[in-house]
Amino acid sequence: MSTFNKNGNREIFYYMTKSLIKQVQRELNRFIKNIEPYPNKFKEKGIVMSVGGIKYFTDAWVSINMLRETGCKLPIEVWYKGNELSSECIKSFAKLNVICKDFNDHDNSFLFGYMFKPAAIIYSRFKEIIFIDADNICLSDPEELSYSNFYKETGAVFWPDFWHTPVENPIWDLMKVSFRQMKEQESGQMLINKETCWRELNLCMQLNRMNNIFYKILLGDKDTFRFAWLSLGKAFHYITKEPDSCGYFTNENNFNGMTMIQYDYDGQPFFLHRNLLKFNATKDNEICWTHFKQFHMDAKAKDYLFVPNNRHNAMDLQGDVETFSFKDKFGDLELHCQDYLQNIRNQGFYREFLFNSYFFNE
């Protein structure tokens, strides 16, 4: 379990003995020595998503339609497991040049939860991966990001989260990485060249397999990428601008940030990662992107407030901050997302999928 402190540290309540650390290190060393060479079977560049169930299908439907509007023509793979997508869902994606791939056709022995993300990247037919979470809206064609030397020279581009990993976290000793004051990773968007980062990607997958340890000290899959790269001494490009928090003000004038604004190499908004309030839980014609907050460039006072509430968790930034109108910056973008949301909700197969999803979840 993690707690998020206002100073930006993510604290954990899990102690690892020295003997346990040594045991895990030995297991990781054995794994690293046995990583197979890069198999020269992957081709092309493409977008990969991990999508399953009514929640993420709904998000992906909005996200992919908006992605195509940016002019992005890259092929897209959507990964799911078993009955997480209906045949009608798969047919609807096909109209958007999306191929749906079932994890069960590759490996159904252990995959669950956060592990789907690195597995989708490894199993994908693409050599160069632009991974985008299903609840992530691209503001421009993400292929543009792959033309940069930042990506070409390292083979990996990662984005920061709000939080830091404090020196007391055992991950530093466990992975034999010197402590550094850097933001944790937010894996809602990543660029990875599998040919140049094959060892790191496989180590990342192994950290997710060992989730009984690593999910107790990290936050799901997110930092398993960063620490796999750091542990093997592999360079990656880290976006320097930290995310902003986008959301709305309540009637009590409290700010409920529910989307991370992530930036490109030049500090321009590129992704709206709607991670705390999914589209499937959004009401018809509900507007939730009304304002966004960001710290001043030379901010000295920075408070990060992660606030659980009944409907959805919220993220607020306080201190030396500025608050901006979403509409002034992004226009009617959310209304456009709502058009796609209403479109899919009006489809007969979607209503049946929704009913069956809740029926089987009971």
Res 216 pLDDT > 50: yes
Please report, rounded to a whole number, the percentage of residues in the chain having pLDDT higher than 70.
98
Q: What is the average pLDDT across 52-63?
A: 96
Res 360 pLDDT > 70: no
- Do 60 and 31 meet the contact criterion of CB atoms below 8 Å apart? no
Q: What is the average pLDDT across 243-270?
A: 97
Long-range contacts of the stretch 334-341 (C-beta < 8 A, 24+): 334/287, 334/288, 334/289, 335/287, 336/66, 336/69, 337/62, 337/66, 337/137, 337/279, 338/282, 338/284, 338/285, 338/286, 340/61, 340/62, 340/65, 340/66, 341/58, 341/61, 341/62, 341/279, 341/282, 341/284
Give me the pLDDT at residue 359, please.
Answer: 65
Res 156 pLDDT > 70: yes
Q: In 10 A of CB 311, how many CB atoms?
A: 10
What tokens appear for 297 in the block? 């460039």
CA distance from start to end of the chain: 26
Give me the pLDDT at residue 106, please.
Answer: 87
Task: Please tell me what DSSP assigns to residue 104.
Answer: G
Pairing state between β 291-295 and 183-185:
unpaired
Confidence class of residue 52 from pLDDT cuts 50, 70 and 90? Answer: confident
Classify domain 2-238 by CATH number: 3.90.550.10
The Cα–Cα gap between 189 and 121 comes to 12
- Give the burial class of 128: count Cβ atoms within 10 A of its Cβ; 0-12 exposed, 13-18 middle, 19 or more buried: buried
The Cα–Cα gap between 312 and 212 comes to 26
The Cα–Cα gap between 134 and 150 comes to 25
Give me the pLDDT at residue 143, please.
Answer: 98
Give me the pLDDT at residue 112, please.
Answer: 87
Res 358 pLDDT > 80: no
Please report, rounded to a whole number, the percentage of residues in the chain having pLDDT higher than 90.
94
Res 109 pLDDT > 80: no
Q: Where are the domains of the chain?
A: 2-238, 244-331
- Do 59 and 279 meet the contact criterion of CB atoms below 8 Å apart? yes
The Cα–Cα gap between 103 and 79 comes to 7
Supply the mean pLDDT for the chain: 96
The Cα–Cα gap between 124 and 244 comes to 31
What tokens appear for 277 in the block? 């309030």
Res 139 pLDDT > 60: yes
Kindly report the pTM of this predicted structure.
0.97
Q: What are phi and psi of 33, to 5 degrees?
A: -65, -25
Give me the pLDDT at residue 107, please.
Answer: 73
Q: What is the average pLDDT across 106-130?
A: 91
Res 28 pLDDT > 80: yes
